[in-house]
Amino acid sequence: MPASNPFKTYAIEKLLRMFVHFPSRQGLSASVLRGLMSKAGRIFPVDQRLAFRQLHLAGMQCEEIRHKRDSATQLIIHIHGGAFFLGGLESHRGLMCDLMRATGAQVIHMDYPLAPEHPFPFALETLQAAYLEALEQGISAKNITLSGDSCGGNLALALCLKLRDEKLPLPNGLILLSPWLDLSLSGPSIKRNAKHDALLSEQALRDGVRYYLNDYASVDEPYVSPLFANLKGLPEMLIHVGSKEILLDDAKRLKDAADRADVACTLTIYSGMWHNFHMFSHWVDPAKRALKDIAKFVDRIDR
């Protein structure tokens, strides 16, 4: 008899606490945590029926994912999470497949340079160069949706701010999944949900801040903590977050900031979900619903 969804959810949370949350609180080095994350990424199913192509933008390795016989006109450029020092093409390939299947859009996954080897603003500047190179190759900005999870949501939003400030073409929409937007870690949910978030720990965030920032950057700079930026003129946003996340208040405060700036923004809080729950859509129903909501958003802004 198949396991009930509540049981599956409980089992996944237990496993995450054991193999992700606990190690992240032990002060392990970046290289050790990278190895653990690489192994953990293998549990996420990859749809081999899709077409995968390695490419480079601005010298950065990327992976294009699409249907083998499809000529999608919409493009999602995704920036992965990992507290600025973890993650890559392998860790998020399963999620990219799910995103591509849900939306029907072509997906390009950016393997940006990680800290501490490449501190701020190296990743942001490389991502901007890659985005502009995609435009130079003939991709229209109105056909691009920029997406990011966790710190990738930070980089996606910061990239939009930088493009706006430099009067460069903005993407058509912005998808932020469990975004980490405040590197000062001032959101009350970081403490309030510390015992509830099965995946992300405050220690992992503090390690990320320490690795990502150098002596010349402050946690309250808009490109570092885009939560503190003026959002005026940015494209429409979709924000997803779980009710158990330590970053719940980052998402809530971004919604408030978007409303103040008259930026169209939809925030959905998924009950009982932990950080980056979208990655578990093969086992957890709220994540399946979240992917459908993303598909509706991409379709609507395309129209």
Go through the domains of the chain in sequence order and give each one's CATH number: 5-302 (3.40.50.1820)
Half-sphere exposure of 129 (CA within 13 A, CB side): 14
Token pair for 292: 């459908």
Q: Which of 150, 178, 201, 281 is catalytic?
A: 150
Handedness of CA 256, 289, 190, 30 (dihedral sign): negative
What local confidence, expressed as pLDDT, does residue 3 receive? 41
CB 92 within 8 A of CB 41: yes
CB atoms within 10 A of CB 4: 9
pTM for the structure as a whole? 0.96
Q: Which of 80, 79, 85 is nearest to 120 (CA)?
A: 85
Beta-carbon contacts of 26 under 8 Å, excluding residues fewer than 6 positions away, are: none
Residue 150 is among the residues annotated as catalytic for this protein: yes
Sequential pLDDT tens for the chain (303 residues): 344 478 889 999 999 999 899 999 998 999 999 998 888 888 999 999 999 999 999 999 999 999 987 767 899 999 999 999 999 999 999 999 999 999 999 999 999 999 999 999 999 999 999 999 999 999 999 999 999 999 999 999 999 999 999 999 999 999 999 999 999 999 999 999 999 999 999 999 999 999 999 887 899 999 999 999 999 999 999 999 999 999 999 999 999 999 999 999 999 999 999 999 999 999 999 999 999 999 999 999 988
Q: Which residues pair with 159 in a beta bridge?
A: none
What local confidence, expressed as pLDDT, does residue 106 receive? 96
Q: Per-residue DSSP letters for 220-259?
A: TSTTTSGGGS--TTPPEEEEEEETT-TTHHHHHHHHHHHH
If you search the block for the tokens 């996340």, which residue do you land on?
Answer: 245
CA distance 245 to 193: 6
CA distance 80 to 78: 6
What local confidence, expressed as pLDDT, does residue 1 receive? 31
CA distance 177 to 155: 12
Q: Per-residue DSSP letters for 23-43?
A: HHTTT--HHHHHHHHHHHGGG
Range 37-40, long-range pairs (CB < 8 A, 24+ positions): 37/82, 37/86, 37/87, 37/91, 38/88, 38/90, 38/91, 40/91
H helices of the chain, where?
5-16, 22-24, 30-40, 89-103, 122-136, 151-165, 189-192, 202-212, 248-260, 285-302
What local confidence, expressed as pLDDT, does residue 15 receive? 93
CA distance 183 to 167: 26
